[in-house]
Amino acid sequence: MRMKFKKVLFIIPSLFSFICLQAQEFDPKFKKFDVDLLKHDLDYVFNKYGIIHPEFYKDVSKIDVASKLEQLKASIVRPLNRIEFMNKFAPVLYHIVEDGHNYVNGPTEEFEQYLKGGGLLFPIPIQMKNHKIFCDSETTVVPFGAEITTINGLSSQVVIDRILAGYNAESKEFAEATNSPWFSGSYWYTFGNMDSYTITYVLETGVEKSVEVKGLAQSAIESSRTKRNNKENFSFRTIDGTNIGLIEYNLCEDLENFRPFCDRVFSTLKTNGSTDLIIDVRNNPGGTTRLGKVLYEYVTSKKITDFEKIETHISREKKREFIQSNRKYNKSFRWYHYLYYPIYVLSNNDRREILMAKNGSTLIKRFPTESPKANPLLFTGNIYILIGTKTYSAAAILAATFKHYNLGTLIGEETGQPTTFTANTVELVLPETKLVCSVSTSKLYMIGTGDDGKGVIPDLEYKSQVDLNTDGLLEYVIHKIKSD
């Protein structure tokens, strides 16, 4: 099952879609689209979301949505470039339904063109938390951990609200945490070209200071970040001075290499006689649950399942995505299957249900428990799952399964992903601007959870700190293991 929450690096611009309360300045060479073409795209994208998303009209009537669309179209009175257009419609479209899997990919071509032309970005790496902005660098003019209160005369709260205006995740904490590493780029998408920035910040002593700084190149900003992102989807190490294994599981992608990775990890644990394993999914925004099914083979022999049920809203786009997913993951569709397509469809129950279902109908699938494949590297020691506000989609599903079947102890904060949510996205390409949008097709119910809007709750709660140089949660868990 693919959650289709893309790697954060590639959805950066989708989190930058935002109301413009002041004039933006972009390269005048950016292509502008005529008003009629932009309105055509608006009609297309609103119509498609209404057809594809299972809960698009759950809280807002079709009449109200139509009214919002007409108001939006009326507000477009001149040609716009793609960023300006995105900033117009995203705050409207994505606040009809609360769903962090719905977004528009910002036009990376314009962003790359700006950077190649020597364009500079907001120069301070930051962390957003609790509607505040904190410096995340020890080498910039703003001290590490200082709270940034204003940027170019706008309060940090206003800046955050405008940057996140076009992204409506179920958890505001998740939206802040996920977008923090890409703040400099998002600031450009939101406010346009700027050469310098006037920043007001407050020290821990309460002293307020102001400084004017020049923009920086993207690479220079990231290299100055204190808490650098681990770029690998998954990695393993043994904690120094201990026999404790640590898997940093940052993205549920790369199925082909995940099993060889697990073989190496659990062979090492077995060779070392390790009895404790930490799996860190605090920074994992999801991907495909197929990797979780592989991991279960190494940690349990119980009969398990990830879901109570999945309700899929059938559409032409969903059927197309189903075939593409089969081609990618199951290698079960080839060009020659078109020669006997009816036989291909009818010979498999899952294919038959999806591809023969009536568009507009809802397909409900319940999941029986199944035992993972027997594995000689089965780990029988203690497992600790670290979760937090950035644990989302397939990563949150993994955490819920571990909790429900007592496969490990969850420690940290409630996940940013609620336990019942919409996902399994398809992509829409707008016919005129070619902007790419993501829209959910299914409602998913994690195993052993309720439809109360809450995320996966840890067994042991540990609140993370904003200005901590060390990883307090990891140190806490290591200390706990040693003490038990």
Task: Please write the tens of the pLDDT for every residue from 408-446.
Answer: 999 999 999 999 999 999 999 999 999 999 999 999 999
Report the pLDDT value the prediction gives residue 332, as an integer from 0 to 100: 61
CATH of the domain at 272: 3.90.226.10
The pLDDT assigned to 27 comes to 87
Residues 302 and 447 occupy one common structural domain: yes
Q: Between the CA of residue 482 and those of 280, 322, 462, 478, what are the distances in Å?
A: 18, 47, 18, 6
Across the chain, what does the average pLDDT equal? 90
Q: What is the pTM of this model?
A: 0.86
- Tell me, what CATH number does 131's domain have? 2.30.42.10
What stretch of H or E contains 480? Answer: helix 472-483
What would the pLDDT profile of 335-345 be if each residue is shown by its tens digit?
Answer: 566 665 566 66
155 and 241 share one domain: no
pLDDT tens digit string along 51-97? Answer: 999 999 999 999 999 999 999 999 999 999 999 999 999 999 999 99
| Same-domain status, 276 and 216 | no
As beta bridge partners, residue 254 has none
Q: What pLDDT is attached to residue 80?
A: 97
**Is 258 a domain residue?**
yes
- Which of 166, 193, 223 is a domain's end point? 223
Out of 223, 257, 288, a domain closes at: 223
Question: Is residue 277 in some structural domain?
Answer: yes
Q: For residue 161, give its domain range.
A: 126-223
Distances (CA, A) of 163 to 5, 21, 69, 185, 277: 20, 12, 22, 10, 38
Tokens of 61: 């009537």
> Strands, DSSP E only, in 41-96?
80-81
Mean pLDDT of 178-188: 92
Phi, psi angle pair for 329, to nearest 5°: -100, -40
Distance CA 356, CA 228 (A): 47
Taking each helix axis as running N to C, give the angle between helix 183-191 and helix 82-93, from 0 to 180 degrees, rounded to the nearest 10.
100
Domain boundary among 169, 203, 223: 223
Dump pLDDT digits (tens) for 194-236: 989 999 999 989 999 999 999 999 889 988 887 655 579 999 9
Half-sphere exposure of 454 (CA within 13 A, CB side): 10
> What's residue 339's pLDDT?
62
Q: Are 148 and 185 within one domain?
A: yes
How many residues in total does the chain contain? 484
Extract the tokens encoding 211: 């400084």
Work out how many domains the chain is built from and give that number: 3
> In this structure, is residue 116 part of a structural domain?
no
Residue 118, domain member (yes or no): no
Does residue 115 lie within any of the structural domains? no
359 plus 400 within the same structural domain: yes
**Residue 337, strand partner residues:** none
Do 386 and 281 touch, CB atoms closer than 8 A? yes
